[in-house]
Amino acid sequence: MNSRLARLAVPIGVVGIIMLLIVPVPAGLLDFLIAANILLALVVLLTSMFVQKPLDFSVFPSLLLVATLFRLGLNVASTRLILGEAHAGKIIEAFGQVTVGGNIIIGSVIFLILVVIQFLVVTKGAERVAEVGARFTLDAMPGKQMAIDADLNAGLVTDEQAKERRAEVSAEADFYGAMDGASKFVKGDAIAGIVILIINLVGGVAIGMAMHGMPAAEALRTYAILTIGDGLVTQIPALLMAVATGMIVTRSNAEADMGTTASNQVAQSRNALLIAGTAAVALALIPGMPKLPFLLIGGALIFASRKIKATETAAAAAAQREAAAAVEPAAESPEELIRRLRVQPLEILLAADLVDTVTGASDDLLARVRSLRQKIGMDLGFVLPPVNARDSIDLPPGTYAIRIGGVEAGRGEAPAGKVLALGDALDALPGTATMEPVFGLPGKWVPAGMAHSAQMTGATVIDRVSVLITHLSSIVTANAARLLTREDVRLLTESVKEASPSAVDELVPGLLSLAEVQRVLQGLLEEHVPINDLPRIFEALTLRAKVSTDPEGLIEAARRALGPALAVRHLSGGQLSVVMIEPGLEQSMLEGLRPAEGGSQILLDANRIEAVLASLHATVAAAGHQGHEPVLVCAPLIRPAVRRLVSARVGGLPVLSYQEAQAANVPIETIGVVRGAEPVSP
């Protein structure tokens, strides 16, 4: 019942407002509606003070329109009573009497001052702030969307979280756009109120003298009181709504309401309060100045500054005690020493000024690492080992290093208090030029306070934790084979056995050992092939192991079992862009194929191999300039050897066999052919 009433309250209210414009309203009912209007404006103003961010009060633009229409309806109803009966209820009369007092001229001047304050100061300011806020928000929207996409690609957020953040960005843009339009309602309402006041005063005096036979002085006094009272009961709510508009559009996202935030930030500088209090006391010493107000206010400011100093001293002492407790030597057990001596599979070393990234704040590094582990597990099919993060005094300030098995695999920068801006128009921004560690994009580390300015230039702004996580994700993906341990393989095998026991029982340990299975899975991960579909992989290994346990053959058998999944990952625009090998060259490669201990190899003349690699590099580069992401396709027999041959020169280029490329049943476009020099005749 309550939800139904709440749903119908606004439509019924709007219909009532329309009736105000048409049907005469008795003075008693008008008093009730005027009181409701004043209290509604007061509630809206107080609500705008207690919200933490503007989107928490997203209904404000629509509510502002309804409240404006309500005030205009009351203006029409009160004007009808003032001009028709020379009486508009007790509230309007009381407001007029209090303002005018014993002197109509003074009362009129005070009322005009209130009108000027509302129209020229509050309303105009709120309109300008809403306009600028809407423009800045819309300009920054593409950069925010790109930042969300970057976090999603790096595994820092899930798909659902990315959708929520995109919806919030869109809602923020819609809100500020609506506020820009709603501020025009406030301005129009103020102008309409002034026009109605003039009509009430001039028309009322004329009607009083012509229709009611009042003397000029009596008519002027009567209608001046009613006009001023009517103006006050509508202009005061309008002023409150204008102030609420200004507060909403000037609020930024905060962790607390306006009162708490304002008190904390105003009182953050003890010296400011102390100087202000001393200045107040000095003003009290000037001859002729009233001493009591300045002394009271100055004393209060000085007292507040001393309280802040005591609080800061206590906080500093507590921090020192915590730091001392942290560095006190603890009793080291042999087990603890052995644990520390153990080489960590994956480790992040942080310079001293980067330790704050693991303090549990909103951009906590460890929380982002946990999200990355989940994403890697979903993408590649194995559980990433825990990431150990610790500080290192050997690293320069603002630097981090990523180690795999105790060996440094990557290093980057993430200066404290700065964000990374990526774009082409960064020359005007202060900061240090750098190179993004994963994609090699030029960028600049700019102060965090300049993030909005950087977005205004069209740059993509990335916080320092996101930079580190993106770098970590790239290194982990490139070294996934090294991170897959024997214990990981055992756990994966046991999980498959629970769902498909026959796929495991026949393979391990009857045909292959865990070590051999590990070698196959590592071979797949080296080529960035996910191992999520383990039952299908195990079935293929079972069939192949009955013929041969050669690692290369086992890996190729597993790839054939995965089928379409290999090619689908490289689709671009719904088609597969491929680079082929010239048939004569491919036949020479088949003839030169030789088995070796580390896998099959292609034996060709050194000059011809160099020519082949140069042709491949040029073909792939040309495809990249045209926006393609090609794969190299070749005969199944030479695919492993070709991959080993090209990996050193064109690292990261996928190599598929003809069958693997065709298994996805998608359009295939040949965008280049690899050629090589003809063999030298003897």
Token couple for 567: 């090619």
Q: Is the peptide bond before 509 cis (omega within 30 degrees of 0)?
A: yes
Q: What is the mean predicted confidence (pLDDT) over 581-604?
A: 89
Q: How far is CA 206 from CA 100, 105, 181, 199, in A?
A: 21, 19, 38, 10
Question: Does the structure show a pLDDT above 70 at 62?
Answer: yes
pLDDT in tens, 204-216: 777 777 776 677 7
> Which residue in 615, 614, 617, 609 sits closest to 592, CA to CA?
609
pLDDT of residue 122: 65
Count of Cβ atoms closer than 10 Å to residue 176 Cβ: 23
Question: Does the structure show a pLDDT above 60 at 256?
Answer: no
% of the chain at pLDDT higher than 90: 14
Q: Which of 22-26, 112-116, 131-135, 231-235 has the lowest mean pLDDT?
A: 131-135
pLDDT of residue 269: 67
Q: What is the DSSP secondary-structure string of 260-324?
A: HHHHHHHTT-HHHHHHHHHHHHHHHTSTTS-HHHHHHHHHHHHHHHHHHHHHHHHHHHHHHHHHH
Question: Does the structure show a pLDDT above 70 at 255?
Answer: no
pLDDT of residue 679: 47
Query: Bigger pLDDT: 538 or 426?
Result: 538
Q: Which amino acid is at 498?
A: E
Q: What is the DSSP secondary-structure string of 632-651?
A: EEE-GGGHHHHHHHHHTTST
Q: What is the DSSP secondary-structure string of 401-440?
A: EEEETTEEEEEEE--TTEEEEESS--TTS-SEEEE-TTT-
Question: Does the structure show a pLDDT above 90 at 241?
Answer: no
pLDDT of residue 42: 83
Q: How far apart are CA 52 and CA 257, in angstroms?
A: 5
Question: Does the structure show a pLDDT above 60 at 329?
Answer: no
Query: Bigger pLDDT: 524 or 78?
Result: 524
pLDDT in tens, 500-531: 888 888 888 889 999 999 999 999 998 889 99
Decide: residue 97, CB within 10 A, 0-12 exposed, 13-18 middle, 19+ buried: middle
| Burial track 474-513 (b if 16+ CB lie within 10 A, e otherwise) | bbbebbbbbbbeeebbeebbeebbeeeeebbebbbeebbe
Question: Does the structure show a pLDDT above 80 at 143?
Answer: no
Q: Which of 13-17, 140-144, 224-228, 229-233 has the lowest mean pLDDT?
A: 140-144
Q: Do residues 377 and 491 make contact, with C-beta atoms less than 8 angstroms apart?
A: no
Query: Bigger pLDDT: 674 or 335?
Result: 674
pLDDT of residue 657: 92
Token couple for 341: 């001596």
Question: Does the structure show a pLDDT above 70 at 492?
Answer: yes
pLDDT of residue 272: 76
pLDDT of residue 589: 92
Tokens 């359009």, residue located? 667
Among 157-161, 205-209, 507-511, 647-651, name the most confident range. Answer: 507-511
Band the pLDDT of 582: cuts 50, 70, 90.
very high
Q: How far apart are CA 377 and CA 532, in angstroms?
A: 9
Token couple for 22: 């048409």
Q: What is the DSSP secondary-structure string of 379-390?
A: HHSSPPPPPEEE
Task: Round the average pLDDT of the chain to a whole number and report it.
Answer: 79
Question: Does the structure show a pLDDT above 60 at 16?
Answer: yes
Query: Bigger pLDDT: 193 or 453?
Result: 453
What are the percentages of helix, strand and coil residues in the chain, rounded to 5? Answer: 65, 10, 25
Band the pLDDT of 635: cuts 50, 70, 90.
very high
Question: Does the structure show a pLDDT above 70 at 319?
Answer: no
Question: Does the structure show a pLDDT above 90 at 44?
Answer: no
pLDDT in tens, 421-463: 888 777 878 888 888 888 888 889 988 888 888 888 788 888 8
pLDDT of residue 285: 81
| Beta-strand pair 418-422/407-413 | unpaired
pLDDT of residue 165: 79
Reported in sequence order, the residue ranges of 174-247 that DSSP labels E, i.e. its strands, are none
Token couple for 276: 């202000």
pLDDT in tens, 102-136: 566 766 777 777 777 766 666 666 666 667 666 66
Q: What is the mean predicted confidence (pLDDT) over 540-567?
A: 90
The pair phi, psi for residue 518, each rounded to 5°, is -60, -40
DSSP code at position 119: I
pLDDT of residue 559: 93
Question: Does the structure show a pLDDT above 90 at 554?
Answer: yes
The pair phi, psi for residue 125, each rounded to 5°, is -65, -45
